Homo-oligomer: A and B are copies of this chain.
């Protein structure tokens, strides 16, 4: 059985260990919730002070040119492109994941409306992240289409000749299950459908190769593994074969071919810039850039492949330790065992007390989160492992605290059962 000493040895050998220095992690805390909100990069406060005091405060409106504010969506997009198998000029950072999803679903639905008007179904997974389903539901309503939800294993059979768009999140937010992007994209294309991938739990967490998978559209989140800060701008990618075909409906001035011509009629910019809408969120986008830079800092150390290797080691270790040391406490690992089917998180379930166990862990400075189940899905205790800043000893210490919470029955205390507004 692995010991705490072994974990310390693993950390000492870890060539990615220096990346932890890129972050300000609160002393004494073990933070396993980077899949919900990444930690603060050390560079961000200084960068924002410079932005506020010099670029905004001192240089004011000139900074649109002199500080390159106007290029931020493309500059940050190009950086994100390096993490997801896209090329420079194919990604922009903008708006929220939900808004970007609307843009690409509209584009996909219009392309299919032209090419295959009899296809009017968006197919997705019932356990997809709700906002993805809401946006798809709204769009289906708007266009007289239908949203069909199935379980993951039913997807191949559900790819009928009615399906226009397959909409999937690459790594499931609840279970950490990771789809085979290349295989599902192939299956969808073979069935005549387009594919939209939500990379919210993938970008910066697992290697993604959008061109390798021949994907059609992708969106993703800036505040999880990209460490862009709470509510950071999101990103959007469209395959070059589609990008010129449609004028997405959020046709704001920043997506215009010449925004500063102030022409009264819309002419979409060539390429991905037409997926921009309003004025770029300069402050938020600058924080996002600092976050993306923390992931790019891994490039000289092996990049996403090296991060993935460490992530698998961390998640495997956590699952093994929980099973070995919490046996008899009714905790079950619900994330896939096979690393190739698992993102950078491990989820547990328990018939009762999941919320309180997470709260008891937080009281011991170990942060995960809880997602309530329903008749169809079990409660989830969710633990994310960001390889940029999570150490092997953190995994050991987190499990040690879990063992103590369970062995002592501490989680039964009333104080751990009070629900907060945001869970």
**B26–A58 touching, CB < 8 Å:** yes
Whether a CB of chain B sits under 8 angstroms from the CB of A392 is no
**A53–B36 touching, CB < 8 Å:** no
The interface residues of chain B lying within 8 Å CB-to-CB of A135 are 250-252
0/1 interface trace, chain A 53-64, chain B, CB 8 Å (1 if under): 100111011111
**Chain B nearest Cβ from A134, distance in angstroms:** 4
**B60–A262 touching, CB < 8 Å:** no
Instruction: Pick the residue among B37, B99, B149 that contacts A277 (CB under 8 A).
Output: B99
**B422–A70 touching, CB < 8 Å:** yes
The interface residues of chain B lying within 8 Å CB-to-CB of A40 are 52-53, 56-57
**A65–B96 touching, CB < 8 Å:** no
**B65–A251 touching, CB < 8 Å:** no
Give the residues from 232 to 262 in chain A that come closer than 8 angstroms, CB to CB, to chain B: 232-234, 247, 249-256, 259-262
Whether a CB of chain B sits under 8 angstroms from the CB of A279 is yes
By a beta-carbon cutoff of 8 Å, the part of chain A in contact with chain B is 24, 26, 29, 31, 33, 36-37, 39-40, 44-45, 48-49, 52-53, 56-58, 60-65, 69-70, 95-99, 102, 126-131, 133-135, 137-139, 141-142, 149, 223, 229-234, 247, 249-256, 259-266, 277-285, 287, 362, 367, 369, 371-372, 420-423
**Given A230-B56, A283-B283, A367-B61; A277-B96 close (CB under 8 Å):** yes
23 pairs, CB–CB < 8 Å, chain A vs chain B: A26-B57, A33-B61, A39-B60, A40-B52, A40-B56, A45-B53, A49-B49, A70-B421, A95-B95, A95-B96, A97-B278, A98-B254, A98-B278, A130-B259, A131-B252, A134-B251, A135-B252, A138-B266, A141-B249, A231-B278, A231-B280, A234-B278, A260-B421
The interface residues of chain B lying within 8 Å CB-to-CB of A36 are 61
A24-B53, A102-B250, A138-B247 known, 14 other contacts, Cβ within 8 Å: A24-B57, A33-B60, A40-B56, A48-B48, A98-B277, A99-B250, A102-B249, A131-B278, A134-B255, A137-B265, A231-B284, A232-B281, A233-B281, A281-B281
The interface residues of chain B lying within 8 Å CB-to-CB of A249 are 102, 138-139, 141-142
**Given A69-B230, A230-B63; A96-B252 close (CB under 8 Å):** yes
| Cα(A145)–Cα(B264), bound, Å | 17
**Chain B nearest Cβ from A18, distance in angstroms:** 20
**B282–A229 touching, CB < 8 Å:** yes
Copies of this chain in the oligomer: 2
**B421–A279 touching, CB < 8 Å:** no
**Chain B nearest Cβ from A53, distance in angstroms:** 6
**B48–A138 touching, CB < 8 Å:** no
The interface residues of chain B lying within 8 Å CB-to-CB of A280 are 230-231
**A98–B283 touching, CB < 8 Å:** no
| Cα(A65)–Cα(B60), bound, Å | 34
**A231–B285 touching, CB < 8 Å:** yes
**A64–B422 touching, CB < 8 Å:** yes
The interface residues of chain B lying within 8 Å CB-to-CB of A142 are 249
**Chain B nearest Cβ from A84, distance in angstroms:** 19
Nearest B residue (CB) for A143: B142
**A96–B278 touching, CB < 8 Å:** yes
**A37–B49 touching, CB < 8 Å:** no
The interface residues of chain B lying within 8 Å CB-to-CB of A261 are 372
